[in-house]
Chain A
């Protein structure tokens, strides 16, 4: 049973860098068939996809955040990380890490089948 757990500071000052780590247990980040994502949700609002990394280290980001985001993986520790630079109050949200399974069914379909419990990050001085 795969489990994901976010960790990192719950309070970040404006203009600084938000850093979160997602530790994965029960699965290897190096295994194929999965991509590893970050998604956020401001209080009372909907879900916003931030970006993802795959087993080869290839990344893709939401263009709305791309200039400020870096997602990286540390296979030796079986975790992947999010860095969001130059944060403002608008970046205050619950941040989720999620595993995206992709399968070949004629074409490639994908879905988020496992999520972390979420980490609340508040941007405030």
Chain B
């Protein structure tokens, strides 16, 4: 199985801050990497697919980059609605696997 490791596991930030979350794969996955946002009691929501493609309706302050084993999710100016947990997920090979999550809190 491909292991996905996110860092940090949690971070504290303020509105307006720039935030970066890292995801590392245990082997190269090219750009087969997706990012999701999950709020308490809700299902995850797709933000970024194929490492850097923004899903429709997702604000442009959110971006993704990387390839191979190292990926980042960035939020350029944190908004109140961005406080949530973020997960990366590899779609390179089954079993599909997720990172452990990064909680972004105030």
Contacts and interface: CB of A to CB of B under 8 A. Distances in A.
B88 to A, nearest CB: 10
A49 B36 contact: no
* Contact size range, A: 20 to 34
A13 to B, nearest CB: 26
A61 B94 CA distance: 8
A109 B50 contact: yes
A116 B45 CA distance: 11
A77 interface: no
Contacts of B36: 112
Contact of A96 (B30, B43, B46, B55): B43
B91 interface: yes
A1 to B, nearest CB: 12
A63 B95 contact: yes
Interface residues of B, number: 25
Interface of A is mostly: strand
A47 B49 contact: no
A49 B34 contact: no
Nearest to B87: A47
B83 interface: no
B98 A49 contact: yes
Contacts of A48: 98
A112 B44 contact: yes
A47 B44 contact: yes
B34 A111 contact: yes
A113 B95 contact: no
A124 interface: no
Contact of A105 (B45, B50, B87, B91): B50
Given A49-B96, A49-B97, A110 B43 contact: no
B43 A111 contact: no
Interface of B: 1, 30-32, 34, 36, 42-46, 49-50, 55, 87, 89, 91, 94-101
